[in-house]
Structures are given as structure tokens and as C-alpha cells.
A and B are shown apart, each in its own frame.
Chain A
Amino acid sequence: MSRRPYVREVSKTRWYFRHPRYLRYMSREVTCVFIGAFALLLLCALGRLAQGQAAYESFLAALEGPWSAFGLLIVLIFAVHNTTSWFNVTPKAMPFQIGEEFLPGKYIVAAHYAVWIVFSVAAVFFAGVL
């Protein structure tokens, strides 16, 4: 009896097509591109703000337009995807034991969504949209 174990190679670049759960995972991971791009946009806005009124207002004027609106809509979709995928797994990282039993995860998730909605409404209100 000779041993000759056979190793099945896994593609380093296409492995995530093998199962829908891996594609779901990758869709969560690529949100970082959009969060990062938005952070750079904020940095850019801050830089122009520091340069004075004329520079900042030309930044706002450059931001206006259908293409940047479309881009920001995509960023918004991925930002919401980051939010939901982040909140939905919070009970895993932060289990909460009361007496013997653990608080059911759905309450931890629901609390995050509630705080999110309150924060978002407050932020939009503070910004003068409503």
C-alpha cells in the first residue's frame, strides 16, 4: 500500500465563485473601497475648506453634476451594505450574558439599527436638510 495523497489546488484568484456565501463575503469586503473613497473625498473637502471660501465653493461646484451624483449613489449603496453586514454580526463579537442565558442576538442587532436610525436622522436634521 503506497501513500500518495492527492492535493486539490484552489484558485487563488477565482475561489469566491465556488459558492454564493463567498460572493456575499466578497461583496461585504469591497465596501472598503467605497468607504475609503468617501474618506478621501472628505479629506479633499477639508483641504479646500482650509484654503478659504473661494477654494471651497469651487470644490462644491465641481462636485455638482450627474456623474458625481451617480458615483455617490453607488457609495451610498455600499455604505448601507457595510452598515447592515456590520450590525448583523455584532452579537458574535459581543455576546451579552444575563444570569445564565445569553441575550438573544436579535436584540443586540435591533439596538444597533435603532441607534443608527436615531443618529442618521439627527445628522440629517443637524445638517439642515429637514
Chain B
Amino acid sequence: MNARIVQLDVLRYDPETDSEPHFQRYAVPCAEEWVVLDALNAIKESIDPTLNYRWSCHMAVCGSCGMMINGEPKLSCHAFLRDYDGAIRVEPLANFPIERDLITVADDFIDKLKRVKPYLIPARNEPVPEGEYKQTPAQLMKYRQFSMCINCMLCYAACPEYALQPMFLGPAAIALAHRYNLDSRDGGRDERQEVIASNAGVWECSFVGACSEVCPKAVDPAAALQQVKVASTIDWFKERLLPGAAK
């Protein structure tokens, strides 16, 4: 292996002994093509087996290895060492409590995700013999990019409004609600609007746009939230100006 030594400053936190997190420096022999996750695996295997972090697929699909790398929310399996000079600072995802070392408590996001009902709620249940729910390619394209979300929470780590107002439903949850609202097979928009058109929903967003800049799957949550604002505004006027209009 053609190794070079990479310095990693990793934020450590042991809830049983530490009162607060602290950085620990590791000098790791790394191959040219490695990503930060490979370096963490090398630390765990041969330098310090007590280091804790989440990962699974190593190919930017599972969404579990999100971390702050030099202050930027990144999937550590997607952050190539060759793109960094000097010591690399590795911290748990911002805006989430630290469970242990690089592991964060994701309960808040999971709870918000559940609340927006991110699954198809068919307008009418068709009996099986009538076949599948059909969709044209144009109908698929309407929501396709928003369906690429892998729930990695990088957008929450980048969002200052979520940091300042933890009640905020946040980018990914609202973008996923929008994804199902745009789906021609779905009939659940009214139920989701009750959640996402609230003050703690889309209206807490001030369109910083950081979510879209950090998304590893090129989803554009900021766009989804703007579209939800426009649609919710049209709803608001319809509900008041057109008596008897659908809510």
C-alpha cells in the first residue's frame, strides 16, 4: 500500500466519563484513494478500538455516516482524503445531541419524519384485480429528484433555522412530504398540509439554501420548501376567498 500519514482530529465524547467532548488526534497511514470513513475504520481496527461512529454501506446510499468534516456536513464515505490539506477535523453532525463520539441522537429527525407521513396514501384503494396504480414518465419526473433523499440528516446539520429553532420540521421531512404530495398516485396532501403548513413547518424556513448545497444526493430541499410555501399560500387564499373550496 502506497501510504501517506493523515492527521485526523476526532471529537470524542464518553457519556460515562466526560463532562464535555474533546478532540483526539490520530496519525493514520492512508492510501491515496481512501475516504474519511476508511481512515476511521483504520483507526478502529489498528489504533483505537474504542472509537464509535455509524456506517453501513460505504457507497452513499444508506445515509448513516454523516459527519462534520472540517466544519462541513458530509457523508464520510463520500469525503476523499486527497481533497483535504493538513489535519482533518471530524465531528458528529451539527445540530444533533452527541450520544457518544461521532454518534448523534437522531430521535428528533425520526419523529419529524413520521409526522409528515412519508408514504403513499392512495386517494382510493383499488382492488388487486384492477391492476397497478399507473403513472406516466412526466408524472414520475415531477417528484423524482425529491425521492432521492436517503435521510442522512446533512441538511439538518447545515440548516441554521433548525439550529436556532429546534421545533422546525426541517428540510428533509418537508421535502419528503412534498415528494408524496407531488405523486399522482397519492391522495394524502390534506393530511400532510396540517403538519407542514404550520408555523413550525415550512414557515420557519427563511430560504438560507444551505440544505441544498450540502445534500449528497443532489436533492434540492430548498426548492421543495419554496414550492410548499407557494402551494400553502394558494391554499390559504382559496380557503378564505372561495367558499366551499376543498381545504
Which A residues are within 8 Å of any B CB, using their own CB?
Answer: 1-8, 10, 12, 15-16, 18-19, 21-22, 25, 29, 89, 91-95, 97, 99-102
Contacts and interface: CB of A to CB of B under 8 A. Distances in A.
B138 A100 contact: yes
A92 B228 CA distance: 11
Interface of B: 13, 15-16, 20-21, 71-72, 94-95, 97-99, 105, 137-138, 141-142, 160, 163-164, 206-210, 212-213, 220, 222-223, 226-227, 229-230
A93 B164 CA distance: 24
What does DSSP make chain A's interface, helix, strand, loop or mixed? loop
22 contacts: A2-B16, A3-B15, A6-B97, A8-B21, A8-B94, A8-B98, A10-B95, A10-B163, A15-B164, A21-B208, A21-B209, A21-B213, A22-B208, A25-B210, A89-B209, A89-B222, A89-B226, A92-B223, A93-B223, A93-B230, A94-B230, A100-B137
Given A15-B164, A92-B223, A6 B208 contact: no
B160 A16 contact: yes
A25 B164 contact: no
Nearest to B14: A4
B15 to A, nearest CB: 4
A51 B98 CA distance: 64
Nearest to B207: A89
A19 B95 contact: no
A92 B141 contact: no
Contacts of A92: 212, 220, 222-223, 226-227
Contacts of B16: 1-2, 4
A22 B210 contact: yes
